[in-house]
Structure 1
Amino acid sequence: MTGDLGTDDAQVHAQAREVLDFWFGLSKEAQFRRDDALDRTIADRFGRLNHDLLAGEAAGWHDDPDTMLAAIIVLDQFSRNLHRGQAQAFAADALAVGLTLEAIERGYDRAMPPARRVFLYMPLMHAEDEALQDKSVATFEALGIEENAAFARDHRAVFGRFGRFPGRNAALGRDTTPEEQAYLAETGGGW
């Protein structure tokens, strides 16, 4: 995706459609595994959009379920692909959570198929916040996809144990406690 961030409805909807078609055109495995080639593709096609949305230019992206879901994917998922191992990977988390909560409040999630709702709810799972972790577990359990509910419970357990996700410590310049180091060593990376 090249050019400026969409400012009119037609342009925003076209950009949102491109994001959704790309992301949901990938296999589930591709969406969740580390892949440098995919990261480069996301950078080439959506890096500018990620930057612009993070800079606060998301006003036109709140208007309907598709545009809001696309913005959440760009801010939550694509940020992690674009900035692996860097603090910037988490810079859009608060904005993505805000959009997720707004989408839920508006009832946008109820009209979405489960595979899309997973990514609408994902910022809750990524949040380093106790109340949001609890909401993540409740939301994913209500969705009824056990694999995703299990991941939400696992994230909540790690957050409950450490009050944060130790797998982010290096990227965020945080000291790692001995207990966190043992956890990271035993799980091969963890959250």
Structure 2
Amino acid sequence: MEQITLEGVLSHAVLDNISNFWFRHLEFEHVIVPGIEDVTPWFSQSDAYDQECLDKFGALLGLIKLIQPRSADIIAAAKPCTPLHWISLIILLDQLPRNCFRGAKTRIVFTLFDKLALEVATQALKLGIPTEEQVRFELVYRFWFYIPMEHSERLEVQESLAEAHSDMWHDYEMLLEESVDRWDSTLAQYRGVLVRRKDSFEQFRSTMQGICESKKNVLDRFGRFPQRNDTLGRPSTLEEIQWLKES
């Protein structure tokens, strides 16, 4: 019987399938500046959507769960050569497990997949992938490089996230400036979309900033996310129990 390997299942075609599936509902201008409604399918629970994720990618996640590879092994097997390949890997490791492992199965998300996703995202950041031309001003792609940092319980990672977001927002503010080279047709196109969808951009930025600030406040207070305690078998403090009741 032929042995199934990561190299055999993490092809570029598989990475393309992930991105095509994940971003299939987006029009071009909403790739540059998404609205809250554009990202809602990813961050709200739907049995139908979960089942679709499971049908398409459950076997691949199951193999990763079985093998428990290092992030370096995953990168070596997938050989990502475009920003979208990197994004697909991050979605595979960070978000799809949240769709496929609900309830009592969620523990593996925190103990395995989040660690892998963060390490893959960190490598992408080291290589400067988020600021490559293909994704730098396409917000619906770029913000995925930072999502694994949001899920980390390490304060230093949250601080790095704030810096990464600051750089990202600065790029968009720069795009709105009159000093942008008007002879660059691609930048001019991005700028036109940003001007037309400025209200959506501001709402998206404000929402992201609010979510990240809230998560950091929880870590500042407790040093961890108390809502994960039961799943991870961690006893909650009295203060955490009270906070969980009020949240």
**TM interval, short-chain normalised:** 0.7 to 0.9
Deviation at 1:150, TM superposition (A): 2.2
TM-score scaled by length of structure 2: 0.68
Verify: 1:147 aligned to 2:226, yes or no: no
The SS at the match of 1:25 is coil
Deviation at 1:5, TM superposition (A): 6.4
Alignment of 1:36-185 (within 5 A): 36-54=47-65, 55-56=68-69, 58=74, 59-64=76-81, 65-85=83-103, 86-90=106-110, 91-111=112-132, 112=135, 113-144=138-169, 145-185=205-245
Deviation at 1:94, TM superposition (A): 1.1
Aligned residues: 183
Which letter does structure 2 place at the counterpart of 1:48?
A
- Percent sequence identity over aligned pairs: 29
Which letter does structure 2 place at the counterpart of 1:52?
L
How many angstroms apart in 2 are the aligned matches of 1:137 and 1:123?
13
TM-score scaled by length of structure 1: 0.86
**Structure 2 partner of 1:20:** 19
Deviation at 1:51, TM superposition (A): 2.9
Which consecutive unaligned segments of at least 5 residues does structure 2 have?
A: 26-37, 170-204
- Structure number with greater CO (CA < 8 Å, separation at least 6) is 2
Deviation at 1:8, TM superposition (A): 6.8
Q: Which structure has the larger Rg over C-alpha atoms?
A: 2
Deviation at 1:24, TM superposition (A): 1.4
How many angstroms apart in 1 are the aligned matches of 2:86 and 2:93?
11
Deviation at 1:155, TM superposition (A): 1.1
Greater shift after overlay, 170-179 or 79-88?
79-88
Which letter does structure 2 place at the counterpart of 1:41?
E
- Contact 2:153 / 2:223 at 8 angstroms: preserved in 1? yes
Deviation at 1:6, TM superposition (A): 6.6
Deviation at 1:46, TM superposition (A): 0.5
How many angstroms apart in 2 are the aligned matches of 1:63 and 1:31?
23
Deviation at 1:178, TM superposition (A): 1.5
CA RMSD of aligned residues (A): 2.1
How many angstroms apart in 2 are the aligned matches of 1:66 and 1:6?
19
The SS at the match of 1:63 is coil
Q: Rate the CA distance shift 1:41–1:104 in 2: closer, same or farther, 3 A.
A: same
- Contact 1:93 / 1:123 at 8 angstroms: preserved in 2? yes
Which letter does structure 1 place at the counterpart of 2:92?
V
Which letter does structure 2 place at the counterpart of 1:132?
V
**Structure 1 partner of 2:198:** none
Deviation at 1:17, TM superposition (A): 1.0
Which letter does structure 1 place at the counterpart of 2:128?
G
Which letter does structure 2 place at the counterpart of 1:170?
D
